């Protein structure tokens, strides 16, 4: 559990940095890609479809995730 949250946090921190406006923009882009931000928490089960969507979004944005 928590892998989706780790990827999500990596995308937001690497692309958004310290700028809250950029972070909000990244969040909006992910929502438009069909990712339900509110359902992704540390304790939510890792859905392979959500993880794949997050990995694809990370790749498109040039974010490196583990």
pLDDT score for 1 = 84
Contacts of 21 (CB under 8 A, 6+ apart): none
> Is residue 17 very low, low, confident or very high in pLDDT (cuts 50, 70, 90)?
confident
Q: C-alpha 59: how far from its chain's center?
A: 11
User: Under a CB-based contact definition with an 8 Å cutoff, are residues 19 and 34 in contact?
Assistant: no
pTM value is: 0.86
Mean pLDDT of the chain: 93
> How far apart are alpha carbons 55 and 11 in whole angstroms?
9
Mean pLDDT of 20-30: 93
66: pLDDT strictly greater than 90: no
């Amino acid at each position: 559990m928590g892998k989706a949250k780790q990827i999500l946090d990596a995308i937001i921190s690497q692309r958004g940095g310290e700028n809250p406006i950029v972070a909000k923009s990244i969040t909006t882009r992910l929502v438009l890609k069909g990712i339900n931000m509110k359902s992704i928490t540390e304790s939510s089960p890792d859905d392979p479809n959500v993880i794949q969507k997050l990995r694809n979004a990370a790749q498109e944005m040039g974010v490196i995730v583990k």
